[in-house]
Structure formats: C-alpha cells, structure tokens
Amino acid sequence: MKTFYNHLHAQHHGKVEMFRGALVPCFEVPARADHVVAELQRRQLGDVLEPQAFDDAALAAIHSPRYLNFLATAWEQWVALDAAHAAKDILPSVWPTRTFRTDIEPDNFAAKVGLYSFDAGTPFTRGTWVAARAGAHCALGAAERIVQGDRAAFALSRPPGHHAGADFFGGYCFLNNAALAAQHLRDAGLERVAILDVDYHHGNGTQAIFYDRPDVFFASVHGDPRTEYPFYLGHADESGAGAGQGANLNLPLPRGTDYATWAQALETALAAIGRFGPDALVVSLGVDTFEGDPISGFALATDDYLRIGERLHRAGLPTVFVFEGGYAVDAVGINVVNVLQAFA
C-alpha cells in the first residue's frame, strides 16, 4: 500500500484553542502524523511518498472560490493589520447565525474569519494554507492510485479534513481531504463512490458537501451529536436531500460504546454501502474512538483496529484511507497502522 505523506504538515502548528471556556494547548499537533509515519516505516508497510502536485482547480471542485481565496490570503491579511500578529494565531470571535447574511464577504478581517469558520478551536497559523494544500494533494494522489488500479492507498496528512465544508473551516479542518478524494474518483470516471467515516466525531463537512448528491454515499459511525462535537449534524434522521435522498446514513452512538456495539454499527454501514454498489470506497480514518483519547468517549482497544482493517478488507472495494482524528498521540501510530496492516 502506497502512503502519500505530507512532509509540510508541521508548518501548521497551532498554539492554543478554546476548550471548555479556556485557551489550552492544541490537541491537534504535528506529533500525530509523525507517529503514524514512524510506525509505517517500522513495519515496512509499503512506500512512503511525497504527494505529486495538482492544479488548484481540483480544490475548486469541492470548495468555493472565495473560500479558497480566503485560505490562501488570510495570513497575509492578518499580519497586514498589525506586524505583531505574526507571533499570534488567528482565532475567530464572531459568527453569522440564523437570519444573518452570508452572501456578502465583509471587509473587516475579524468578520471575514467568522464568515468562514464555525468554532474557536481551530487556529489558523502562518503555515496553515501550505500544509492544508499539500494535504489535499496527498488525498488526490491516493485517489489517483485507485484510478490507476491499486487496491488501496493512504493519505497521511494533517490538518485533518472531514469537518471542513465547501466554504467553512472548523474542527481542526480546512480542506476536506476525503471529499476531494471522492470527487477525484468521480471525475476520473467512477460512477459511484462511498465515503465511510469512522472518526469519533461526525464528518459534518463531508455530509454537507454531498447531502443532495446521489453519486456519493456517505455513512458515518460517531458520537451522538446531542452530546458530542460538532453537535449540529449527525443525527440518524439525516438521510439526504433532493436527488441525494437515501445516500446519507448516520449511526450515532452514546459515550462509552465498546467495540462489540461499535462493530454492529460498522456492519450496518457496510451493508448500506454494499447496497449502494460503489466502485470505490474512501475511509475517513479517525482513531479517536480509542479508549485513551483525551477528547472523545468510545472504548475501542488497540487490537480492535486490526479487526476493523480485516473487516474493511472483506468489503472488497478499492479503498482510499484518509487520516483524520486521534489525539492519544502516543497510540495514534499503532492504531492507524493496525487498520492498514490488517487491511493489506
């Protein structure tokens, strides 16, 4: 299995995030990806490659032009306001909510940041755009390997992606790598693609991007949004809209869920994917379902990730794996690579 590794990921390194009413050190740190690549190399699980370059038009297939322009220019705008900002990260402080207009981009930078974000836990840093763009290229490169006939490929990048929508960031995510991979597969001629999100947190951005489309099926097993971030999407009654009705499946589970219960939900998701009949599968591979994760609430053990990989292998689909969450940093590498090794 080829891994496309974002060698530029550490350029995105937030200082603090808002968590439970306080500014705290970020949970999403460069060491997450470093542990995964080290474990891949230790087990010699295929080639670890730098991503090839893709035209930014591939990003515009998922993300709006004005949002991409904001991401590309936000840091320069921030520092232009005050040179001292170069030592600080960007965090939003205001947001448009119900009845507010979002069609007009404000001139005020703070308002602009709020327009394109949904939380105060996702710092934008000097290197965020560089890292996120390179990470998107990892996802596109992994998808291209499937187009070329590989059984599986892995996009190893951070920042993660599944909370990013067509025109918003949040949940540590700026560009939606899973969505970009799925769209690349579609653009290459695959008629149907499924996305399976196994991160603890619902992939609200991915759902929003494909919610009215019949060609991309989205299934997610995650913490119940009544109590778990990102809260406002991920309920079981969200099944798609318009032409996409029936192409969205949410399987929310309560805090404390163990592997046996979680695996039943995985079976339900895979059965629905099987009925959809996709030509390929994209897996948003978050391992914050781990029992030791500091910001999540499931109880999966390290060996359970071997069983997940085995089960995904039995699904029999060409598969793009995309690295998402997992914040028990010392265990992230082992848990991710357990999935990949068992699949391979």
pLDDT tens, position by position, 66-119: 999 999 999 999 999 999 999 999 999 999 999 999 999 999 999 999 999 999
Residue 284 near residue 199 (C-beta atoms within 8 A) = yes
Confidence of residue 152 (pLDDT cuts 50, 70, 90): very high
CA nearest 154: which of 332, 9, 323?
A: 323
Establish if 209 belongs to a structural domain: yes
Confidence of residue 23 (pLDDT cuts 50, 70, 90): very high
Confidence of residue 52 (pLDDT cuts 50, 70, 90): confident
Q: pLDDT > 70: what percent of the chain? A: 100
pLDDT at 19 over 90: no
Which residues, 6 or more positions from 55, have their beta carbon under 8 angstroms from its beta carbon?
Answer: none
Establish if 136 belongs to a structural domain: yes
Establish if 59 belongs to a structural domain: no
Q: Identify the CATH number of the domain in which residue 280 sits.
A: 3.40.800.20
Q: Give me the pLDDT at residue 184, please.
A: 98
Establish if 81 belongs to a structural domain: no
* Helix (H/G/I), strand (E/B), else coil: 148: coil
Strands (E) across 224-339 are located at: 248-253, 280-285, 319-323
- pTM exceeds 0.95, yes or no: yes
> Percentage helix, strand, coil, to 5, in the chain?
40, 15, 45
What is the span of the domain harbouring residue 281?
2-52+131-343
Establish if 91 belongs to a structural domain: no
State the amino acid at position 191 in one-letter form: E
How many domains does the chain divide into?
1
**18-27, 89-98, 178-187, 278-287: least confidently modelled range:** 18-27
Distance CA 303, CA 342 (A): 10
Distance CA 296, CA 202 (A): 12
Establish if 154 belongs to a structural domain: yes
Q: Give me the pLDDT at residue 148, please.
A: 98
Residue 316's H or E segment, with its range, is none
- Would you call 13 a catalytic residue per the annotation? no
272 alpha carbon, distance to own chain's centre = 21
pLDDT at 21 over 90: no
Establish if 75 belongs to a structural domain: no
pLDDT tens, position by position, 219-271: 999 999 999 999 999 999 999 999 999 999 999 999 999 999 999 999 999 99
Q: Which of 9, 13, 63, 163 is catalytic?
A: 163
pLDDT at 301 over 90: yes
Q: pLDDT > 90: what percent of the chain? A: 98
Residue 114's H or E segment, with its range, is helix 109-115
Which residues, 6 or more positions from 278, have their beta carbon under 8 angstroms from its beta carbon?
Answer: 190, 192, 193, 194, 217, 317
Q: Give me the pLDDT at residue 252, please.
A: 98
Confidence of residue 149 (pLDDT cuts 50, 70, 90): very high
Establish if 196 belongs to a structural domain: yes
Mean pLDDT estimate for the chain: 97
